[in-house]
Amino acid sequence: MVSEISDRKAQKSIKKAIGKLATDADKQGKPLVGPLRGYRSLRAYHQQYRIVYKIIGATVTVLVVAVGIRKEGDKNDIYERISKMTGL
């Protein structure tokens, strides 16, 4: 996922943001609504990329579901891709 992004600065920024999810993942990002309810979205690299993740269980386990660019109305929009992946 992250390794597929050609911009090394973007990769570094995204990896750093994902690393920060190790503490207080429930206080970072924002909860998503609608069909993606239960997931959270965290912005990275000049707010261009979204890290979509889910918190699992009382002992917090963070599952990063996808990383991509928000392009509302575009078939490659990160939220559209996740909806298709998860069947939501």
pLDDT band at 87 (very low <50, low <70, confident <90, very high): low
Q: Are 12 and 2 in contact (CB under 8 A)?
A: no
Q: Where are the domains of the chain?
A: 2-86
* Residues in the chain, overall count: 88
Q: Over the stretch 53-72, which tens digit does the pLDDT of each residue have?
A: 988 887 778 878 778 888 87
Bridge partners, 55 (sequence order): 62
How far apart CA 48 and CA 67 sit, in angstroms, is 11
pLDDT in the model for residue 71: 80
Query: Does the domain made of 2-86 have the CATH classification 3.30.2310?
Result: yes
Confirm whether pTM is higher than 0.85: no
pLDDT band at 78 (very low <50, low <70, confident <90, very high): confident
Q: Over the stretch 26-52, which tens digit does the pLDDT of each residue have?
A: 889 999 998 889 889 999 998 888 988
More confident residue, 65 or 11: 11
